[in-house]
Structure 1
Amino acid sequence: MSAPNLFLIYVTDVERSTRFYSDLFGIEPILTTPRYVPFEVAPGVLFALWSGRADTVTPSAPRSSEVGLMIPAARVEDTYTTWSAQGVTVVEKPHDEVFGRTFVIADPDGNLVRVSPLD
């Protein structure tokens, strides 16, 4: 069986979210369409923004997933400081969890982005 290689984030404004994630992660999309924008995050692995059917993805639609960025533990606090200075919406300030120091921000649609130390 193959491993998952496409991770979709539902967004309401593809252009706004493309700018947000491009700036946040310092990456550029490999393709831009009006409703789908993929970023290659590893060879053959895509992180993509998808508006789906505009009538089903609204700002009030509940979000049930979280994007994870695992980085060296020593960089967690610095990343929080950098992103906070950029004006991101902080959901959880840095704190200790069973897996180490972590924090959570939200994208413009309320999708969560968690930064944590490498496993």
Structure 2
Amino acid sequence: MANPNLILLYVEDPAKSTAFYRDLLGREPAVEAPNFASFPLGGGFFLGLWRIAKVEPELARSGSRSEIGIMIGGEGAVAGQYQKWKTAGHRIAQELTTLDFGPTFVILDPDGHRIRVCEPDK
């Protein structure tokens, strides 16, 4: 059985994106090269950042249709993270709100990829 263990984001400037995710995740990349970087996320799972101009086969650009989700638990944890990242100046795509699944907000990385924070699924 194959288990997915890598999310790849296509980015314009891997160095800029690596700095963003280094700060956001509070960890160092396992690999950092001119056209690619990857961050260990735990449990054998990785986030890869690949320079869009070097992706093979070539991509058809069709807009944002996905998100990276970060689930954090604890009373007020989502609101606390929202305040921290808002204060840090991250671009907010969705202000802190409550949806069917609970409190949530969305920030954008340097390439406009959506990062949603919410409570863990129960």
- What does residue 72 of structure 2 align with? 71
- What does residue 9 of structure 1 align with? 9
Gaps of at least 5 residues in structure 1 are none
Q: How far off its partner does 1:12 sit?
A: 0.4
Structure 1 segments of 4+ aligned residues over 4 angstroms from their partners: 54-57
Select between 76-85 and 39-48 the one with higher mean Cα deviation: 39-48
- SS of 1:32's equivalent in the other structure is strand
Residues 9 and 49, structure 2, Cα contact 8 Å, conserved in 1: yes
Figure out how many residues of one structure are paired with residues of the other and give that number.
117
- What does residue 85 of structure 2 align with? 83
Residues 8 and 50, structure 1, Cα contact 8 Å, conserved in 2: yes
| TM-score, length-scaled by structure 2 | 0.88
- What does residue 105 of structure 1 align with? 107
Gaps of at least 5 residues in structure 2 are none
- What does residue 35 of structure 1 align with? 35
Q: How far off its partner does 1:10 sit?
A: 1.2
Q: How far off its partner does 1:43 sit?
A: 3.2
| TM-score, length-scaled by structure 1 | 0.90
Q: How far off its partner does 1:73 sit?
A: 4.5
Name the % identity: 38
Deviation readout 1:65-110 (Å, 9 max, x if unpaired): 2111000152100000000011000000111111110000101111
